Amino acid sequence: MSTTQVEGRSPSRVKPRPRWLRALGDGSPPEQLEIGGGPHRLVEVFKHDSWAATALYAGPHGARRVVKLHRRASAFGVPLSWVGWLTARREHRLLRNLADLPGIPALAGPVLSGGIPQKNAVAREYLDGHPLGDREAVNDRFFPELRDLLHAMHRRRIVYVDLHKRENVLVGENGDPCLFDFQISMDWPRWLPLRPIFPIMSGSDDYHLLKHWARCRPDQCGVADDQMAAKRPWWIRAHRLIARPIREMRRRLLVRIGVRTGKGRVESEQFAEHALRAAAPSDRQAA
């Protein structure tokens, strides 16, 4: 399946993103890549936003790898490839440092295109499963295992940061939790004191874990969904006062330039990210 076929499956009333809002500009993930020393062909593009393009590749002997191509394109004449290089380097480092934990995909090796190493690319093994559904009745071990995974990360001075997005939590085929997107996660340097910032950030991970737990398994965590507002930490309340107006302004801009419709939600884009596309449960496989 070609990239054009993959990216053309969504609403026709909206325009594709302009090049300055795409990590690869006018380009798309290559049809062929060498990953971990073997040839791979493009199967599907999961997501292509301002910061990265994420795609599934198939290789020898049934191997499936996910490649994230971080920002490479400039915007309004400002070079931004250095941003993609830094974020790719950080994501690679985090995946490497967490590789021994359950629920973390293994790195798949270096990525080359036409024999040239792609410094903005990170390849990992594909995980079968689907994004955590709204109020999905997961098994009894799912959230305790996700809590243990997060706390193991915190002990290594790593915070996930992006757990507020339910689609970033994968329900594996065996029912176990997995985390796969470390694009904005952070590892805390040894020379930097943990207090006061690290407890706030790790506490945000804990709050968002409890939020999903309360929505999906209130019988297990002992907290109802409608009780979560009272448990929201002050720093998340403060962040929302700033982040919500910025998010709404961004949504209005995307509607104004024709990239989104209605209230500007990401699902209305011509090429919405894979986890948010309308699809049957059997079709929802993780980026």
CA distance 17 to 160: 28
**Tell me, what's the pLDDT at 264?**
85
Task: Dump pLDDT digits (tens) for 190-214.
Answer: 999 999 999 999 999 999 999 999 9
Task: Dump pLDDT digits (tens) for 39-98.
Answer: 999 999 999 999 999 999 999 999 999 999 999 999 999 999 999 999 999 999 999 999
Tell me which of 1.10.20, 3.40.50, 1.10.510, 1.10.3470 is the CATH number of domain 128-260. Answer: 1.10.510
- Written as one letter, the residue type at 29 is P
The residue to which tokens 């915190």 are assigned: 154
Domain ranges for the chain: 24-126, 128-260
Give the confidence band of 275 by pLDDT, cuts at 50, 70, 90: low
187-149-64 Cα angle (round to 5): 85
Give the confidence band of 265 by pLDDT, cuts at 50, 70, 90: confident
Residues in the chain: 287
Whether the Cβ atoms of residue 45 and residue 3 lie closer than 8 Å to each other? yes
Q: Does the 24-126 domain belong in CATH 3.30.1390.10?
A: no
Domains 24-126 and 128-260 are alike in CATH topology: no
Q: Is 150 helix (H, G, I), strand (E, B) or coil?
A: helix
Q: Is 249 helix (H, G, I), strand (E, B) or coil?
A: helix
Torsions phi, psi for 138 (to 5 deg): -70, 170
Mean of all residue pLDDT scores within the chain: 90
